[in-house]
Chain A
Amino acid sequence: MAPSGYRGRLREVLEGIGAEEGDELEVVTPDGQTFVGYLIARPEYADEDVITIKLRNGYNVGIAFTEGTVIRRLAAGRAPAFRRGEIPPQDPSLPRVALLGTGGTIASRVDYRTGAVRPAMTTEDLVSVIREVLELARIDAEVVLSLYSENMTPRDWSLIAERAHQRLVDGYDGIVIAHGTDTMHYTAAALSFVLQRPPVPVVLVGAQRSSDRPSSDAATNLMGALTVAARSSFAEVCVAMHHWHSDDEIAVHRGTRVVKLHTSSRDAFRSVNAGPIALVREGRIEVLAEGLNPRGSEDYRYEPGFDERAYLLKFWPGMRPSVLEHLASEGVRGFVLEGTGLGHVASSWIPVIRRLVRDGVFFGMCSQCRFGRVNMNVYDNGRDLQAAGVTPLDDMLPEVALVKLMWVLHRAHDLEEIRRLMLTRIAGEIGDRSEPVRLRP
């Protein structure tokens, strides 16, 4: 079989000579240039008339396949055979940590011959790639899901929560969940509402640089997460990621206070309307927040279940309110509005909202300002919206409010109950005090 990415005439020619990925080929171009190297797969959308060859010096080059190009197969390729080094036994005196994989490749191996990157998600694979983990904990790794995080749904949150719950019941000293970063903060919020006051920490962790690179943040983030899971004094659902551009400091964020604020940087995850709850530096944990759920807490509650009929909607100037009616007719039971400023939408929306509330649809208000608390008592618009039935959601983050609404919709059946639960503090998602965002300009 010709390698993936080859199509059309070129694929036929490769199959005609029985060329497979990694086989040694000779390609002679019509102008008489000879290239000798290994056949390499091509990306799905790459040009159809080009063959990729890895030259003996390690470089890949693309050679046009045209009338008169001659391709010969010289030798069969060697199949890659990953040999793991000897794995030392795990130290029975160390805390026991469950590592749940969901598809974030926290560790991986590279086939330098073809460039293929494969996740290393069994305990043995992981240990063989990041050996230092053995100094922190006894690790039981398990693959729960294998998804890019943009493909996750609330059903996947429930599956992850259920596995974590079982591990909590099994008596592990901590749980680490490796996760793709794009929607990690949604999952973190979801787990925060389902796994309430857990007896041990539940730490989500990811990587902004894929783990096949020498500079990947995967290993340092994972070490930080394992340190928290194995040894922290607090037991919160949290996210452990780089604090800044440096590798020497991992920030621990509360699961209901964290968002991804940068597309690519290592320090993409930040706590908003709160600070990180702890920092991990050189293997030591510095706790920054007060009133955290302590390790060993005995009032753990497992509260699973989400109703997906919730909607997060960002208001923009000129947006027409008919969109609300349309969505409600599609079965949406509750909206989180990302309003402007202190929590406003255009006055033209008010009659529509009033009508839908009367039909039992929930409206909660967050701000698209990202930082700060909504206050709908300052301007007429805010007061009118409240009168129409909109519930101000204080300093809750819009994404967290959406997840919470799904969780609330699963257990509340009338509007009053939904409102009451939305404003009840479940997992640190609402704060009393607002501190300055920056301490200096």
Chain B
Amino acid sequence: MGLNYRELGLRVGLEIHRQLDTRTKLFCDCPTEPRTTGRTVEFVRRLREAQSELGEVDPAARFEMRRARTIVYRADLGSVCLVEMDEEPPHELNREALRIALTFAAMVGARPVDEIQVMRKIVIDGSNTTGFQRTCIVAVGGSVRVGSKVVPIQTITLEEDAARLIEQRDGQVVYDLSRLGIPLIEVSTAPVIEDPREAYEVALAIGRLLRATGKVKRGIGTVRQDLNVSIAGSGLVEVKGVQELEDLPRVIEYEVRRLLHLERVRSELRSRGVRAESVSSEKVRDLTHVFSSSRSRLVSNALSKGWRVMGVRLPGFAGLLGGGDVRLGRELSEYARAWGGVEGILHSDELPGYGITQEEVAAVRRELSCGEGDAFVLVLGPERRCLDALGAVIERASLAVEVIPDETRAARPDGTTSYLRPRPGSARMYPETDVPFVRVSRDLLEEVMRSLPRPLEERAEELMRTYGLSRQLAWELIDGEVVEEFLSLVQTGVAPSFIASLLTEVMKDLRRQGVPVENVGVGAVRRYLELVAQGRTAKESARDVLAYLAGHPGSTVEEALKALGLEAPPLDEVERVVDELVREVLPRLSGRDPFGPIMGELMKRYRGRVDGAVLSRVLRERLARAGTSGGSA
């Protein structure tokens, strides 16, 4: 879709989070690499926010308190101690992590603060046992250059990673604590990014600098990108948790389309004369009796559990709830889910449907006194949840008349986003009094400056020079974070550029096709390359073999080759076949160069099993013996 992002006033800021590869966690001496001992504890907590002196409870905190969930924590004592359990005060700030953050700060020309003060940032969704995340600014300012553009960096912070969400059920949420407290560096850019593609490039540039420190963790879950997005006239939307760099442009495009759609809905509502007050004064009604003999399976299942059907009128909203992948109905549904814990909503733009008949729709419209221009929303659930859900629907619908609200949204794997919670207020931080201040001394800064890492450009040049790789392949190895694997695999003697493309392009391709390539260990790849080097299979089999191994964890490479019929036949068999072909084909060619046609035939037979170079060597030998030149085709 050809949106003119500059005209729309798109402004994006990035927050790049990356786990640091330190020996211990940020505020305790547990290892950052998870250890499993089988000595486990599971305990239950509740979080509540202390009221602030201003008498205000933070909107994000109020949201969580209304949900009043029980939080279950699981911990293996191999990587969790009393600090993560919030049963012991934090130890001092990890100096190794601090040194890494200062190194990055030096690389982007940021200015370290003179004294680091750790803060508590209120987060009461349970992802931190304390109810806050410990975080501190290490440096401010600096910039990264992307092409001709200079993107200012606002802050470089160190913070604790959160606990990992395991499951979420009715009124209960389960977290594992092993990740809690791993040091994260967070790099925040100014909101100066003006189109989706640029966001990718900026994130890539920051990621490369972080990797150049040599002290960041690699692999799934070690990187997370958050975005703040706005267009002219919209509120500020924070999108949390984009995992893949490549997804950034897609997520931003989606957000822009969503904001534009909400803007269109808003102006349409205004032109219809809908007022926010009239929406928020709408009353929720119990409509269970309308559906007492409903044939809709959705409805009858709900009623058999003793649930209610409740509804509310949205005056003037007819026709504005449905639409494509961005639609107001989806927004309302997300609010209902988040605040009421219901599974979703049904709205008048999609009914009749779901087995609900025209007559039932008419009855609902009568009960709710819906006029022609009015829409309605139904929810199914226990009474309390229905009321909470529809209360949230009313709130969201009345907002739709006036503003595009500030929100925190979650990035989903499909490139869309969904409502998470209101945006937290700015006043949700207070000092972590248990951790002493850290003076950033001149000695420490000088030590950091003396040991600045080599830039990745040098690394790329070196890979190109030593292994004859193209610039693109060298960078793909670096960006794919597989340089170490590459260096260990080139020792098999197989062509470096083949190994590089195997680790990058082939893997990426398979992943895109949904092949679980994470199941293929580097050991299996090494074994495969050894067999290629010994001529026991051909390079062309790579894709099939990797896909097989991914789909059959535990299989050996030899088993994969056998199962796929990609084992090379013994050389004498190949020679025999070549002899036969030469005998058969030579007479029919009447003097033309026989190499091309015979080679074609051989490839047909042996593709993926015997290396083309081997076939061509054998063929040349035999042709020479048969007195033919074996041309230069």
Q: Does A115 lie within 8 Å of B433, measured CB to CB?
A: yes
B607 on interface, CB distance cutoff 8 Å: no
Q: Does B43 lie within 8 Å of A245, measured CB to CB?
A: yes
Give A27-83 interface residues, CB cut-off 8 Å to B: 31, 33, 35, 40, 43, 46-47, 50, 52, 55-64, 80-83
Q: Does B46 lie within 8 Å of A245, measured CB to CB?
A: no
Q: Does A113 lie within 8 Å of B427, measured CB to CB?
A: yes
Query: Which residues from chain A contact B220 at a C-beta distance below 8 Å?
Result: none
Q: Does A129 lie within 8 Å of B87, measured CB to CB?
A: no
Q: Scan B412-450; emit 1 where CB is below 8 A from any A CB, else 0.
A: 000000000000001111110100010100000000000
Interface centre among A31, A33, A108 (most CB of B within 10 A): A33
Q: Does B50 lie within 8 Å of A60, measured CB to CB?
A: no
- Measured in the bound complex, the distance between the Cα atoms of B57 and A83 in whole Å is 11
Q: Does A59 lie within 8 Å of B136, measured CB to CB?
A: yes
Closest to A32 in B: B111
Q: Does A85 lie within 8 Å of B55, measured CB to CB?
A: yes
Q: Does B430 lie within 8 Å of A112, measured CB to CB?
A: yes
Partner of A246, one of B43, B55, B121, B136: B43
Q: Scan B107-129; emit 1 where CB is below 8 A from any A CB, else 0.
A: 00001011111011110100001
Q: Does B132 lie within 8 Å of A62, measured CB to CB?
A: no
Known: A115-B431, A215-B47, A247-B45. A64 touches B88 (CB 8 A): no
Closest to A263 in B: B88
Partner of A214, one of B89, B117, B131, B140: B131
Known: A61-B115, A265-B88. A214 touches B52 (CB 8 A): no
A416 on interface, CB distance cutoff 8 Å: no
Give A80-110 interface residues, CB cut-off 8 Å to B: 80-85, 108-110
Closest to B75 in A: A245
Known: A83-B55, A215-B47. A245 touches B430 (CB 8 A): no
How far apart are A71's CB and chain B's nearest CB, in angstroms? 14
Give B40-62 interface residues, CB cut-off 8 Å to A: 41, 43-55, 61
B265 on interface, CB distance cutoff 8 Å: no
How far apart are A68's CB and chain B's nearest CB, in angstroms? 14
A173 on interface, CB distance cutoff 8 Å: no
Query: Which residues from chain A contact B114 at a C-beta distance below 8 Å?
Result: 50, 61-64
Query: Which residues from chain B contact A212 at a C-beta distance below 8 Å?
Result: 50, 430
- Measured in the bound complex, the distance between the Cα atoms of B122 and A214 in whole Å is 8
Query: Which residues from chain B contact A110 at a C-beta distance below 8 Å?
Result: 50-53, 430
- Measured in the bound complex, the distance between the Cα atoms of B56 and A85 in whole Å is 9
Q: Scan B63-98; emit 1 where CB is below 8 A from any A CB, else 0.
A: 000000010000000000010011111000000000
Closest to A84 in B: B55
Q: Does A62 lie within 8 Å of B113, measured CB to CB?
A: yes
How far apart are B245's CB and chain A's nearest CB, in angstroms? 25
- Measured in the bound complex, the distance between the Cα atoms of B60 and A428 in whole Å is 49
Q: Does B54 lie within 8 Å of A83, measured CB to CB?
A: yes
Q: Does A264 lie within 8 Å of B89, measured CB to CB?
A: yes
Partner of B426, one of A56, A116, A211: A56
Q: Does A47 lie within 8 Å of B115, measured CB to CB?
A: yes
Query: Which residues from chain A contact B228 at a C-beta distance below 8 Å?
Result: none
Query: Which residues from chain A contact B492 at a C-beta distance below 8 Å?
Result: none
How far apart are B191's CB and chain A's nearest CB, in angstroms? 13
User: Which bucket holds chain A's interface residue count?
Assistant: 35 or more
Partner of B53, one of A80, A216, A266: A80
Q: Does A50 lie within 8 Å of B87, measured CB to CB?
A: no
Closest to A249 in B: B44
- Measured in the bound complex, the distance between the Cα atoms of B431 and A264 in whole Å is 20
A358 on interface, CB distance cutoff 8 Å: no
Known: A58-B428, A214-B48. A52 touches B117 (CB 8 A): yes
Q: Does A247 lie within 8 Å of B44, measured CB to CB?
A: yes
- Measured in the bound complex, the distance between the Cα atoms of B117 and A43 in whole Å is 12
- Measured in the bound complex, the distance between the Cα atoms of B55 and A82 in whole Å is 5
Q: Does B46 lie within 8 Å of A247, measured CB to CB?
A: yes
Q: Does B111 lie within 8 Å of A61, measured CB to CB?
A: no
B141 on interface, CB distance cutoff 8 Å: yes
Q: Does B117 lie within 8 Å of A62, measured CB to CB?
A: yes
Query: Which residues from chain A contact B136 at a C-beta distance below 8 Å?
Result: 59
Q: Does A264 lie within 8 Å of B88, measured CB to CB?
A: yes
- Measured in the bound complex, the distance between the Cα atoms of B506 and A365 in whole Å is 78
- Measured in the bound complex, the distance between the Cα atoms of B49 and A211 in whole Å is 9
How far apart are B203's CB and chain A's nearest CB, in angstroms? 21
A244 on interface, CB distance cutoff 8 Å: yes
A209 on interface, CB distance cutoff 8 Å: yes
Q: Does A60 lie within 8 Å of B431, measured CB to CB?
A: yes
Interface centre among B50, B61, B89 (most CB of A within 10 A): B50
Q: Does A215 lie within 8 Å of B129, measured CB to CB?
A: yes
Q: Does A109 lie within 8 Å of B51, measured CB to CB?
A: yes
- Measured in the bound complex, the distance between the Cα atoms of B157 and A343 in whole Å is 56
Q: Does B113 lie within 8 Å of A61, measured CB to CB?
A: yes
A320 on interface, CB distance cutoff 8 Å: no
How far apart are A327's CB and chain B's nearest CB, in angstroms? 35
B155 on interface, CB distance cutoff 8 Å: yes
How far apart are A262's CB and chain B's nearest CB, in angstroms? 8
Q: Scan A395-425; emit 1 where CB is below 8 A from any B CB, else 0.
A: 0000000000000000000000000000000
- Measured in the bound complex, the distance between the Cα atoms of B430 and A250 in whole Å is 29
Interface centre among A82, A112, A214, A245 (most CB of B within 10 A): A214
Known: A213-B130, A213-B132, A220-B46. A57 touches B140 (CB 8 A): no
Partner of B87, one of A81, A211, A266: A266
How far apart are B435's CB and chain A's nearest CB, in angstroms? 12
Q: Does B53 lie within 8 Å of A60, measured CB to CB?
A: no
B residues apposed to A, CB below 8 Å: 41, 43-55, 61, 70, 82, 85-89, 111, 113-117, 119-122, 124, 129-132, 135-137, 140-141, 155, 157, 426-431, 433, 437, 439
A-B contact pairs, 23 of them (CB 8 A): A47-B115, A47-B439, A59-B157, A60-B119, A61-B137, A62-B115, A64-B114, A83-B54, A85-B55, A109-B50, A110-B50, A111-B430, A115-B433, A129-B51, A213-B130, A214-B124, A215-B129, A215-B131, A216-B48, A245-B41, A246-B44, A264-B87, A266-B87
